[in-house]
Structure 1
Amino acid sequence: MGRCYRTSLHKNIILLLAIIFFLLVLVASIPRKTGKLPPGPTPLPLIGNIHQLVYQAWKGKGIVAALDFYRKKYGNAFTVWLGPIPAVNITNFDTAHEIFVKNGKKCVDRQLAPIFEHITGGLGILTANGEGWAEMRRFTLLAFRKLGVGGAQMEKRIMNELDGRCSELNQEISQAGRAIVPVQFFDLTVGSVINTLLVGKRFDENTKDDFLVIKKLFDDSAETFNLFDLSVPVWLLKWFFPWRYNMNLNARRTIRNHVGKEAVERLERVESGELILEEQEEPKDFVDVFLGKMREEREKDGGDDKNYNMSSLKFVLQDLWLAGQGTTATTLYVGFMLLAVHQDIIQKVRKELWKVTNNSRNLSLQDRSNTPYLNATIAEIQRHASILNVNFWRINSETIHFDGYEVAPGALMTAQLGALHVNEELFESPEKFDPERFLRDEKLIQQLIPFGIGKRSCVGEQIAKSELYLVFGNLLLRYDIKPHGPILSSYDVFPYGSAKFPDVSAKLEFTRI
C-alpha cells in the first residue's frame, strides 16, 4: 500500500511539474503586442480566462452556452485568453465576412492541435498549413470539378446510393408494413456516397459491417475531441492519458488504412502494368485523379513529389472521408428527428415537392430554384445541427483592424459558428425551429455559415449541399416519417467538446406514401 501511495505521489508531483513547465512555455510565447483587442472577461496571469470559460460551460451545460454568454455580455466580437494567448471570437456574419473573406489572406493558417500535428506530420487538408495545405486544397477542388461535384454526375452517384438504400427500406416495409430506421441508415448512405467518390466503391451487404466498425471506433474517440485533448502537448497525453492518446491515434489510423487500402492496391496494379491510367474526361474517382497527378509529377521531377505521394494521398482521403461522412450524416439524422415532431413542416415541404415534380419523378438538383420552402427547411436544420461547438482558430499573420479594434499578429481569431447560429440579433427566437425565418428575410440564408467562411471553409461544401437536398427531398417524397419511440430532447452527447455529437439512440418509422 505504501508503495502504491509513493507511486501515486510521484506521478502527481511529475504531473504538477509538467503543468508548471507547460505554463512557463505558454508564458514565453506571450505576444509582445496585443493591440486594441475586443472586450472580454479579465484574464488571470498564466491561465488567462480558462477557469471562467470552464465555469460558464458548466453553468450553461455546454461550450456553446458559454460562448453565447460572453457574446451577450461583450458583443459580437469578444476576446477570451487561452492561457497567455488572446483568442478573438466573432459571432455575427458581417464582421466574419470582413475579417475572413475581405482580409482572408491575413489569417489563413489554423492553430493546429499538437495531437493532430503529431499524427499527420503536416499532411492532408484539415490539419495542415502553408503551401502544402494550399496545394492540396487547390488540387482537391480541381479533382472534384473533374468528378462532377455539384452537377449531374454527382447527382447520379447520390441517387444511385439513395435508391439502393430505399430498396432495402421497401423490402422491410413490404414484410412488416413499416421500416424502423436507426442512425446507421444515414451513416451508410452518406458514407457510401463519399466512399464511391473517393475510391469508387459503395458499402454493400458484404462491406457495410466493416464501415460500421470503423464508424463506431471513430465515434468512441469523440470524447477526445475537446479543448483539453486538442491543446495539451503530445507528451503529456502519452504519459498521463495514454488511453486517450491511443484512442485518438488508432481511430484515425484505422480510417486512413481503410480509405487508403484501395489506393495502395490500385497503385500496385499500375506499377505492375496490370492497370493503365489514361487521361479521362470523367475519371472514376478521386484516387484515379490523384494517381494521375502522381505520375505527372514523377515524370516531371524524376521522383516522388513532396505533395503527391501515397502518404499524402492517404491523409487527404482520411480528411475527406471524415469531413464528408460525419457532418452530413449527423445533419440528416438531426434534421429528420426535428421534422418527425414537426409534421406541419413536412406537409408544407411535401406539398411544394409534389407541385415541382408533379408527383411523378425524383427531385433533382435542377429543382433548387423552385423549392424555396425545402431550401429554407434545410437551412434551419443546419442552423440547429450546427456541427462545431468550437470552430478552429486561425492565426493572423498581419495586424487586422475592424470596428475600431486592432488585433496584432500572432493572436487567434475565428468565426464561432455555434454562437453565431444562436445569435438572436440574426435569428429571432433562435431556440425555435422555424424554416420560414429564411423566407421572411431572404438575405438571412447567406448569413448562415455551417461550412465555415473564407479560405478555410469546408472543401466538400458542394458535396454536402447536394446530398442534403437530394436525400431530404426524395425521402420526404417517398415516405411518411414519424418517431419510433421517444424523441430525445438533447442532441449533444458531449456539450463540452469541440464538435457536436448527437445521442443516436432514437429511431424513426418510415411508411410508403
Structure 2
Amino acid sequence: MIILILLVTVFVFLLFNLFRRSRRLPPGPTPLPLIGNIHQLVYQSWRGKGIVAALDYFRKKYGNAYTIWLGPMPTVNITDYEMSHEVFIKHGKKCYDKQLAPILEHISGGRGLLFANGENWAEMRRFTLLTFRRMGVGSGLMEKRIMDELNGRCSELDSEILKKGKAIVSAEFINLTVGSVINSFLIGKRFDEDTKHEFLKLKELFDASGETFNVFDLNVPVWFLKWFFPKRFRMTWDSSENIINHVSKEAVERLRKLNSGEYEIDSEEPNDYVDCYLAKMKEEMAKGADGHPAYTMESLKLVLHDLWLAGQGTTASTLYVGLTKLVNHPNILLNIRKELQEVTQKSRDLTLQDRPNTPYLNAVIAEIQRHSSILNMNFWRINHETIKFQGYELEPGCMLTAQLGALHVNDEIYEDPEKFDPERFLKDEKSIQQLIPFGIGKRSCIGEQIAKSELYLVFGNILLRYDAKAHGATPTNGDIFPYSAAKFPDASGKFEFFKL
C-alpha cells in the first residue's frame, strides 16, 4: 500500500511539473511523465514514413511553433522564417550553444566546429571565417578554385564523349568534384586517379553511418549504445575516425616537416587552411601560458573533419538531387539554358558576377535546395537566458530550433510543396532570401558562401556545356534513411551527358 501511495505521489508530482513547465511554452501534444511525446513522435514517423512527415503533422495541428517533449526535456520547433528570424537573429546571443549528441560529443571531445560549444567553438569559428576570407572566399580566387576543378572533371567527360558520343555520369562524378574543391581549400590537393579510391571509401562509410544518425542514437547515453547496441556505436565511431584520419594525415605530416625544417609556411600567401592553422598554432604556442588552448593538432583534426563533412556531403547531395529534378523536368532545363546562353552570348563560362542577370537559374537552385533540404531534423540549441516571442516564454535551458525539414514543406509558405516549381521564387523575390537551407543565426553553416558559389557555377556551367537525360531508369531522390536526422538521397541514378 505504501509503495502504491509513493508511486501515485511521484506520478502526480511529475504530472504537475509537466503542466507547470508547459504553461508558457508553445502548444503541442500532451506529454506523459518520463517519456514525454516520444511515443507520439515514433508513431507519426511510422505513419508518415519519415521524420519530416511527423514534424509536419505536428506543425499542421499545433502551428508554426510547437513543443515536443523528448522525455523530460521540452523542445521548441519553429517552422516559419519570420519566427526563426525573431528567435535566432534578434535573440541569437541567448541561444548559440548546441544541444550536443552524447555520441558526437564523445567523439569530438568538445572540439571542432559542428559538435562543440563555448569559447573553443567561438574561437574556431572566428578563425575559420577569417581564414576563408584570407584564402579568397567571396573573391575571384574562390571562383578560380571551383572552376579549375570543374574544368578538370569536364575534360574527362569530353574525352568520353569524343570516344562514345556521350558520357555516363553517376553520383561519383559529383562527389569527386565537390570533394576535390573542399580538399583544395583544406589541404591544397585535389582527388586524382591515385587517390580517389580513398575518398570513395570514406564516402561509403559516411553514407552507411546515416542509419545511426537519428533521434534515438543521437540522444541516448554513450554507455547505453556501447552496452546494448555495440554495432551501431561502432558504425558511428568508425566512420568518424576514418574521416578524421584521412583529412588530417596531410596536416600531421606537414607539422612534422615544419618542426624539422623541411617545410616553411609563406605567411603572406599560405597554400591552404592547414597552413594558416599551423602558423596560428605555432604563434599561440610561442605565447606559452598566454596562448589560446584551442590551437592543438587534436583540435585541427576535428575542425578538418567538420569542414570536410559540411563542405562535401551537403553540396554533393544538393547537386545530385538537382540533376535528378532537371532530367525529370526537361522544360525547366531548357529554360535555364536559354537564359544562360543569352547572358554569356554562348562565348564564355558563367561567372559569379552573372548572378543578378540569371533570375531563373537562381530560382531553380533555390527550389532544388528546398527539395534537397539536407536536415530532416535540425540540431537543437540551448537558450542561456529567457526568450520571449509570439507571447511565449522559453526558460533558460530549453531546447529550440528552426526545424528546416518541416519549414521547407510548410504549405502555408510554399503552395503545393511536393511539386518542383521554381516559378514560386520568381513570383516573390523575397522568398529566396527566406529560404534557409544553411540554417540561421550564429550556428548557421560556416561554408555557406563556398556552397552557394559551387552550386551556381557547377549547375550553370554544366548546363551550358552539356545536354542531360536519364540513363536507364528515371532517377529519383528518395530518402534512404527517412528516419535519420540527415537526408541521404538514393544516389543510384545515372545520367547521360551530350556535348552541346
TM-score under structure 2 length normalisation: 0.95
**1:240-251 correspondence runs (5 A):** 240-251=228-239
Map of 1:289 onto structure 2? 276
Shift of 1:488: 4.0
Aligned-residue Cα RMSD (Å) equals: 1.7
**1:142-161 correspondence runs (5 A):** 142-161=130-149
Map of 1:38 onto structure 2? 26
Map of 1:341 onto structure 2? 328
1:184-226, Cα deviation, whole Å (9 max, x unpaired): 1110000000001000000001111111011111111110111
Q: Among residues 481, 485, 495, which one is paired with 2:468 in the alignment?
A: 481
| 8 A contact 2:409–2:418 mirrored in 1 | yes
SS in 1 for 2:97: coil
CA–CA distance in structure 2, aligned partners of residues 138 and 303 of structure 1: 18
**1:110-121 correspondence runs (5 A):** 110-121=98-109
Q: Which runs of 5+ in 1 are unaligned?
A: 1-25
Shift of 1:489: 4.3
**1:50-69 correspondence runs (5 A):** 50-69=38-57
Map of 1:442 onto structure 2? 429
SS in 1 for 2:293: coil
| 8 A contact 2:324–2:476 mirrored in 1 | no
Residues 1:489 and 1:363: Cα distance change in structure 2 (over 3 Å): closer
Shift of 1:283: 2.1
SS in 1 for 2:442: helix
CA–CA distance in structure 1, aligned partners of residues 96 and 252 of structure 2: 32
Query: How many residue pairs are counted as aligned between the two chains?
Result: 487
CA–CA distance in structure 1, aligned partners of residues 118 and 462 of structure 2: 42
**1:63-462 correspondence runs (5 A):** 63-280=51-268, 282-301=269-288, 305-462=292-449
| 8 A contact 1:35–1:408 mirrored in 2 | no
1:137-166, Cα deviation, whole Å (9 max, x unpaired): 000000000011122101101001001110
Shift of 1:278: 3.0
CA–CA distance in structure 2, aligned partners of residues 481 and 94 of structure 1: 38
SS in 2 for 1:455: coil
CA–CA distance in structure 1, aligned partners of residues 353 and 104 of structure 2: 39
Map of 1:19 onto structure 2? none
SS in 2 for 1:126: coil
Shift of 1:373: 0.6
SS in 2 for 1:86: strand
**1:461-500 correspondence runs (5 A):** 461-500=448-487
Amino acid at match of 1:343: P
CA–CA distance in structure 2, aligned partners of residues 129 and 312 of structure 1: 13
Moved over 4 A (4+): 29-35, 302-305
Shift of 1:487: 2.4
Shift of 1:295: 1.4
1:405-439, Cα deviation, whole Å (9 max, x unpaired): 11111111000000000111111111111111111
CA–CA distance in structure 2, aligned partners of residues 234 and 87 of structure 1: 21
CA–CA distance in structure 2, aligned partners of residues 487 and 407 of structure 1: 47
CA–CA distance in structure 1, aligned partners of residues 119 and 109 of structure 2: 14
Shift of 1:276: 1.9
| 8 A contact 1:35–1:406 mirrored in 2 | no
CA–CA distance in structure 2, aligned partners of residues 76 and 217 of structure 1: 36
Q: Which stretch shifts more, 489-498 or 320-329?
A: 489-498
TM-score under structure 1 length normalisation: 0.93
Q: Which runs of 5+ in 2 are unaligned?
A: 1-13
CA–CA distance in structure 1, aligned partners of residues 477 and 446 of structure 2: 29
| 8 A contact 2:476–2:493 mirrored in 1 | no
Residues 1:479 and 1:65: Cα distance change in structure 2 (over 3 Å): same
Residues 1:203 and 1:388: Cα distance change in structure 2 (over 3 Å): same
CA–CA distance in structure 2, aligned partners of residues 496 and 487 of structure 1: 24
